[in-house]
Amino acid sequence: MSASFTHSPSVAVLGGGPGGYEAALAAAQLGAEVTLVERAGVGGAAVITDVVPSKSLIATADAAVAISEASDLGVEFYAKGESGRPLKPEVAINLAAVNKRLLSLARQQSDDMRRQLVDAGVRIISGHGRLDDAHSVIVATGPGGTDFDRVEADTLVVAVGASPRELPAAMPDGERILTWTQLYDVKALPEHLIVVGSGVTGAEFASAYMNLGAKVTLISSRDQVLPGEDHDAALVLEKVFTRGGMTVLSRSRAQSVERVGDGVVVTLSDGRTVEGSHCLMAVGSIPNTAGIGLAEAGVQLTDSGHIRVNRVARTSVSNIYAAGDCTTLVPLASVASMQGRTAIFHALGDTVIPLERRRITANIFTAPEIATVGRQEQDLATGAINGYVHKLPLAANARAKMMGISDGFVKIIAREGSGTVIGGVIVAPRASELIYPIAIAVERRLTVDQVSRVFAVFPSLTGSITDATRAMHLVNRDDDFFG
């Protein structure tokens, strides 16, 4: 047990994103008196300006691609002209209407989350909060910081998130030079969008806007898009990008971005220039930890400003926890949510399962999607672990043929000797859904033989998972589950 209380425990949560929301909800369910402080709205940036609207935009792009490629499946769209002869219509994107819908969906989600917290008995304060000491938060609630509210609690959870990184030589103006939070103010589809940064955010928006019909140039300072991700997956994505008409400038570093008239000019470090109508700066994020009293309260930060946490989301101060992109763990909404719950379970003495990086499932919402879990092939290459890999192209899958899917694969990583599944990669439409069986296998330490003996529907894309694990069978391997 982490804590015992002679009264109802009190919890104050600073930040209402996925981590703060889940922490507040879990604390209320465990009978604590809970106060949540949030300046932008429940759900935070993840719901209002990041994950929800961006993935909604990607879903719209996917719909546009489905329409444009329907003819490959024998579905054709025509309208009759004045002469009665068929005219083939073009797919048009009303970006203003699209963005209005995205932001409306985000606000609806925020409102739903707020309602759930209120129904659970959580007190919500709108304003800018900062730690006054290890047991209290000061909230500026009035305009210009004129009114203040003080919240005292046994346990504090800091979940303040992160903001887009801004570079002095490429300062966003909200019109032509943009961060990913500003894209939703653009009224018309960019004629030529230059994306600086080929990490997850850059790749996702480059993919979406290409599929919406914009000309896209992706500037990557590394050898491949998605540096650090599975090499085979990055190769598939680059092939899809190039085939779709995107220009990918690898090993190219943007030195500056300037607005020139109704467009932008990106100057590269080697002197080359790229001209476009808009530029998206996707060069990472910085934690929102400055000036909120963390250091004064004794909370240890990294040089980058991230909060150091252990596997139960606890900081260097025993009663202060942290969750989400402001911490040293992986910056994913699902991770933030799990950290928030874990923090509360630990603080209030409930059952706790410490977080492990090897169990984290991640997804990149490009087209096709790239989902990963656990150990990766590069871990084997570096000698970090002994294992073996099998990759099965989706093109061999009957359901993929029916759906017109030609790109992608299923890759399984298993431990040498036992055949225990320790990781996987899926590149496919809806890979975010398909990765779940592999995530369960990693979590429960199932062997490839055990996974292969689970019935998959035929035809289905999940059939490639059983096919891949079946191909990894080794004769005479011990199997203590099936005997």
Flag whether 64 is marked binding.
no
Q: Count the Cβ atoms, other than its own, within 10 Å of residue 458.
A: 10
pLDDT of 483 reads 38
Flag whether 198 is marked binding.
yes
Flag whether 100 is marked binding.
no
Flag whether 213 is marked binding.
no
In 59-80, which positions are buried (b, 16+ CB within 10 angstroms) versus exposed (e)?
Answer: ebbbebbeeeeeeeeeeeeeee
Report the alpha-carbon distance of residue 316 to residue 321 in Å, rounded: 9
Report the alpha-carbon distance of residue 461 to residue 312 in Å, rounded: 36
Report the alpha-carbon distance of residue 240 to residue 429 in Å, rounded: 13
pLDDT of 324 reads 96
pTM of the model: 0.91
pLDDT of 141 reads 85
Cis preceding-peptide flag for 172 (omega within 30 of 0): no
pLDDT of 475 reads 42
pLDDT along the chain (483 residues), means of 10: 66 97 97 95 89 91 88 84 79 90 93 97 95 95 77 97 96 96 93 97 96 96 92 97 96 96 96 98 96 96 97 98 96 96 97 91 96 95 92 96 95 95 97 97 96 96 97 63 40
pLDDT of 25 reads 98
pLDDT of 206 reads 97
Q: Count the Cβ atoms, other than its own, within 10 Å of residue 156.
A: 28
Residue 369 phi, psi (nearest 5): -75, 155
pLDDT of 480 reads 46
Question: Contact, 185 vs 174, CB < 8 A?
Answer: yes
Flag whether 80 is marked binding.
no
Question: Contact, 319 vs 403, CB < 8 A?
Answer: no
Flag whether 201 is marked binding.
yes
Of 266, 270, 268, which Cα lies nearest the Cα of 257? 266
Which domains does the chain carry? 10-51+99-163+286-357 (3.50.50.60), 177-283 (3.50.50.60), 368-472 (3.30.390.30)
Flag whether 202 is marked binding.
yes
pLDDT of 65 reads 87
